[in-house]
Amino acid sequence: MTSDGPCWEPSCDIKALNVRARMLRITRRFFEERDVLEVQMPVLSRHAVTDPAIECIRTRDGRFLQPSPEYHMKRLLAAGAPSIFSIGPVFRADEAGRWHNTEFTMLEWYRIGFGADDLMRELAALIDALIGPSDYERRTFAGLIALDINHATTDELDLAIADAVARLRDKRVFVTGYPARQAALARISKGVADRFELVINGIEVANGYHELTDVEELARRLTADNLARCERDRPVRDIDRAFLAAHARGLPDCAGVAVGFDRLVALKVGARAVADVMPFPDDRA
Amino acid sequence: MATYATNEFRAGLKVLLEADPCSIIENEFVKPGKGQAFNRVKFRNLKTGRVWERTFKSGETIEAADVMEAEMEYLYSDGQFWHFMKTDGSYEQVEAGDAAVAEARDWLKEQDTFTVTLWNGDPISVTPPNFVDLEVAETDPGLRGDTAQGATKPATLSTGATVKVPLFVNIGDVLRIDTRTGEYVSRVKS
């Protein structure tokens, strides 16, 4: 008999859980061999990110579930930590779909002294270890879309790149050279953001930056984020003073990348959705 | 006029797109990590059957289409229209044109029940049941001695449709046909 109540069973099979556990072990071994320290960052914080495309979930006491460990990890780096990695749950409101779940697992790491190229090489080595080796192509943002990246609107660019990325099936592609206005927290060099994304079989798997270290530029970007939030009728977010103070003290020259771990597990087992590799996705948790 | 926002999109929803009634086949939420959210939606145009894809900004709305399906009995054709009657006891009748009947024409037998899709009350498509039983109107005589496996011959059914049938089939036999493939399934005892 079926009932109308919520389904109690997990949505993925035990095989997927085994694959996930093995991939976690490989990841930890990978970083141990490279002397990258594992750190556990808070899930709950006084601050939300200003990023206009990311909405944090607010708790009853006015704090926020973190959409990435970035702010705290950079504060650690500014305080003299060595290269670090974190793997754990993050939360993003209003993101639900085949490749999205409100709560998901993010692997994020920062390498002191690395540029974007170094980090892309290391990311490729980890991906090879996790889901099997393959070739990696390099494509520029401007080369993927038919629009002029300096004149199209942000909406037009978002839509064009989302469609272009979805067409990169059956391959692994590093997309580089993001428009300066989509730099987020990456440096800008030669007019484009020193930022990359890794797309595997049309799915965005990772997003990396040669990190911005200039505190004044950072303050301008966070303020511009809030302006963009106003234009989109989204709540303005208080700027995290501790995050700024860490940059004033000095973030070392570094590159960092965030990987959607559930998507990687899905790619490994050939699943059609992240829900197929999570025991309790949004509709069952 | 009722509308649906992207977060209400789901398979089976009937909407109006470029003035035509469409059914949503698939709705995918797409969001670059640092970009805005979209819904990539696959539709079937209910008038033409054509499938196409459109991308919407999350939060956009589209108009709902007044589309419903009704079980209806096929009555007769007057040469221009095919007449159907509701089986819900209302005896309400509609007339469907060429475009609505389309491929279902091959399987229209009087008094059989079909699924008729109505848009603003007008029929836009007719879907036959998966299996129909139809009488053979014309075929070469059955060859009793020929038992070759898989050998077939053409037969014309009472509706005018031509299907491939085994050699033992005779005029007057009633055959079960799979309307999805147009293939012979079995002979029906009558």
Asked if residue A48 has pLDDT above 90, the reply is yes
Q: Is the pLDDT of residue A1 over 50?
A: no
Q: Which residue has the higher pLDDT, B49 or A276?
A: A276
Choose one of B36, B63, B90: the last residue of a domain.
B63
* Per-residue pLDDT tens digits for B99-133: 899 889 999 999 999 999 999 999 999 999 999 99
Rounded average pLDDT over A113-130: 98
Per residue in B61-86, pLDDT tens? Answer: 999 999 999 999 999 999 999 999 99
Tell me: do B145 and B107 sit in the same domain: no
Of B108, B127, B146, the domain-final residue: B127
Does residue A143 surpass a pLDDT of 80?
yes
Mean predicted confidence (pLDDT) in B6-25: 92
Pairwise CA distance, residues B94 & B158, whole Å: 23
CATH number of the domain to which B19 belongs: 2.30.30.30
Mean pLDDT, residues B39-47: 92
Distance from CA of A209 to the nearest CA of B (A): 12
pLDDT higher than 60, residue A2: no
pLDDT at B48: 86
Prediction pTM value: 0.79
Lowest average pLDDT, out of A115-124, A162-171, A255-264, goes to: A162-171
As a whole number, mean pLDDT of residues B45-59 equals 89
* Nearest CA-CA distance, residue B181 and chain A, Å: 29
Same domain, B58 and B79: no
- Inform me whether the pLDDT recorded for A3 exceeds 60: no
Comparing alpha-carbon positions, the chain B residue that sits nearest to A207 is B33
Please report the pLDDT score of residue B161 as a whole number: 94
B15: containing domain: 3-63
Class of domain A14-277: alpha beta
DSSP string of A175-219, one letter each residue: EEEEEGGG-TTB-EETTEEEEEEEEETTEEEEEEEEB---HHHHH
The band of B149, judged by pLDDT with boundaries at 50, 70 and 90, is low
Provide the pLDDT for residue A7. Answer: 85
CB A210 within 8 Å of CB A186 = yes
Of the two residues A233 and A70, the one the predictor is more confident about is A70
A207 and B34 within 8 Å at the Cβ level: the answer is: yes
Distance from CA of B5 to the nearest CA of A (A): 14
Average pLDDT over residues B22-41: 90
Q: Is A117 on the interface with B (CB under 8 A)?
A: no
| CATH classification of the domain holding B97 | 2.40.50.140
Residues B59 and B71 in one domain: no
Cα-flanking dihedrals φ and ψ of residue A26, to 5°? -60, -40
In this complex, which of A51, A97, A258 lies closest to B29 when CB atoms are compared?
A97
CA B89/CA B123 separation, integer angstroms:
18
Q: A112-121, A209-218, A262-271, B133-142: which has the minimum mean pLDDT?
A: B133-142
Please state, as a whole number, how many other Cβ atoms lie within 10 Å of the Cβ of residue A28: 14
Report CA-CA distances (Å) from B42 to B11, B56, B67: 9, 11, 18
Task: Report the number of distinct structural domains present in chain B.
Answer: 3
pLDDT at A123 over 60: yes
pLDDT higher than 90, residue A155: no
Distance CA B129, CA B17 (A): 28
